[in-house]
Structures are given as C-alpha cells and as structure tokens.
C-alpha cells in the first residue's frame, strides 16, 4: 500500500536560485536516476554546469555525494507523499498524476534498493514507516481488515510492491525516468482488477490452509519474547487482541455450492 503523488513540492526552487553545492546534488540525483550510480563526475558536472573539480571540492568522493543525494531524495519523497495518507490506494502508482517531478525520485529509490546494502535497507524502512500510517488509518476506518501480525503484513506488502517495480524497471532499463513512470501508469491499468480481487476476495476457495498454519505452526509476534521471559499475558492490558472471530466478522459467507 505504497502511495506516491507527484504534486510539485512547495519548496522546489529554480536551479538558478540554488547554491553550487545544491545544483551539483540535484544534477547527481537526476544522473543517478537516469544512468545508475556509476554516473561519472564529468557527466554530473555537465548537468550541473560546473567543473568536475568543483564537485571534488564540495564532495571528496562519490560515496559522500551519494549519501547527500540519499538524504535529499528521502526528504523530497516525504514532501511528495504528504497528502497520500488521506487517500490510501492499493496500487503503488494509482495516484501518480504526472511523471514530472516525482519520476527521478521514484527511479532513484528503485535503483537504491536494487543496489542493496545499508542505503537500500534505510529506504525500505522509510517506505514501511509511511505505509504503516496509511495501513493503520485503513484499519481504524474499517476499510482494511486487521491482521494477526500487522508488521509482517506491512513488510510483505512493501516488499511485494517494490519487487513488482524492480521487475518492471529491469525489463525496461533504457527508459528515461519520465518514460518509465508513464509506462508504469499504462501497464498499471491491467493490474488494477487482479489487485482489487486479491485484496478483496482472496485466492483460496476455503480457509483450511490458513487455519492449519495458525493452529499448528504460527506464533504471535510477542510469543517468543514471552516464552523467553516467562511472562504471561496481562488480562488487564488495554492492547487490542485480534482473534479469528474479529478477522472473520465481516467476511462474506460462502454458499454451500462454492
């Protein structure tokens, strides 16, 4: 349940108003999104309208430049998706209005996750934090059913969404960020129906596999810590305990011939 909007950030200034360091950073974000993190200082310098030596002056290494770009991309991502929590969508690209401002940010995120390592983990954690807010509001409003393990479901949906984007990106590696986002919007129309079917109706015809797993294999998220500490559930706790009855209360009854 990741949502990206492309409303232009209010603090986005013309490049002529930026310092040389900021112009270099912004040019690097665009070049990294277009060419990957192997983009050279010379290429970035040409985009920024500065000399390669000035990049070295401000950023002693590409690693330091990349780190500053990562920070800025996350800042812009938070700005771009600010209003998404009030319009939750099951489809990652469902709320993309235009590919302009957000395209390099989205593709940069994809490339960062593809590259792996600590930056990828950091980006995924941020995506999960933002999706957590959307999911919590969905559950509170009754739009989304609660889960026995909200964190596990959230992690699965985040990885599933980003994995789908990675597949699409890797099969069209030569597209510009703008062309990629535009093509994803077009291709996304074919996934809306199966996405809504899966999220609304599920896939399995009965719940036997789920019931068996929950009964014989699954442990609640806090079960291992309770077992280690010897603690017992607090009967007076105000925490909400999700039961099978809670989860199935609004499940449509299946006909006898189903």
Over residues 170-216, the pLDDT tens digits come to 998 889 999 998 888 888 788 888 888 998 999 999 999 999 999 99
Residue 155: name the closest of 120, 131, 123, 119 by CA: 131
Say which residue the tokens 């994803």 belong to: 184
pLDDT for 243: 58
**In Å, how far are 234, 235, 242 from 239, measured between CA atoms?**
9, 10, 10
Output the pLDDT for position 48. 96
Tell me the pTM. Answer: 0.71
- Say whether 57 sits in a helix, a strand or coil: helix
pLDDT for 245 beyond 50: yes
Please tell me which residue, 244 or 60, carries the higher pLDDT value. Answer: 60
Domain 15-222 CATH assignment equals 1.10.357.10: yes
Longest dimension (CA), the chain: 75
Mean pLDDT for 82-87 is 49
Q: How far is residue 40's CA from residue 232's CA, in Å, rounded to a whole number?
A: 58
Distance of CA 180 to the CA centre of its chain: 17
At residue 34 the predicted structure's pLDDT band, cuts being 50, 70 and 90, is very high
Average pLDDT, the chain: 78
Domain residue ranges of the chain, discontinuous segments joined by +: 15-222
Task: Give the pLDDT score at 181.
Answer: 87
Q: Which residue has the higher pLDDT, 192 or 258?
A: 192
CA–CA dist 3, 95 (Å, integer): 7
- pLDDT value, residue 15: 56
Q: State residue 74 phi and psi, 5-degree precision.
A: -65, -40
Q: At what angle do helices 102-115 and 62-80 cross, to 10 degrees?
A: 130
Q: Element (H or E) spanning 122, and its range?
A: helix 117-141
Q: Tell me the average pLDDT across 106-116.
A: 93
């Amino acid at each position: 349940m990741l949502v990206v909007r492309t409303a232009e950030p209010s603090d986005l200034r013309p490049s002529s108003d930026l310092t040389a360091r900021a112009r270099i950073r912004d040019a690097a974000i665009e070049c990294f999104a277009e060419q990957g993190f192997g983009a050279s200082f010379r290429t970035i310098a040409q985009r920024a309208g500065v000399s390669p030596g000035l990049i070295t002056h401000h950023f002693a290494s590409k690693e330091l430049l990349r780190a500053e770009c990562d920070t800025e991309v996350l800042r812009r991502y938070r700005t771009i998706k600010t209003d998404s929590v009030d319009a939750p969508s099951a489809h990652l690209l469902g709320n993309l209005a235009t590919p302009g401002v957000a395209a390099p940010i989205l593709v940069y995120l994809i490339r960062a996750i593809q590259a792996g390592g600590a930056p990828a983990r950091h980006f995924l954690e941020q995506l999960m934090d933002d999706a957590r807010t959307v999911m919590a509001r969905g559950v509170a409003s009754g739009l989304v059913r609660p889960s026995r393990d909200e964190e596990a479901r959230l992690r699965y949906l985040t990885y599933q969404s980003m994995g789908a984007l990675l597949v699409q990106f890797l099969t069209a590696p030569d597209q510009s960020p703008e062309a990629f986002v535009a093509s994803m919007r077009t291709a996304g129309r074919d996934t809306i129906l199966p996405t809504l079917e899966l999220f609304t109706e599920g896939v399995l015809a009965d719940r036997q596999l789920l019931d068996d797993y929950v009964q014989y294999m699954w442990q609640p998220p806090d079960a291992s810590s309770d077992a280690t500490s010897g603690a017992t559930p607090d009967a007076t706790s105000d925490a909400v305990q999700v039961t099978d009855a809670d989860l199935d209360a609004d499940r449509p009854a299946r006909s006898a011939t189903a």
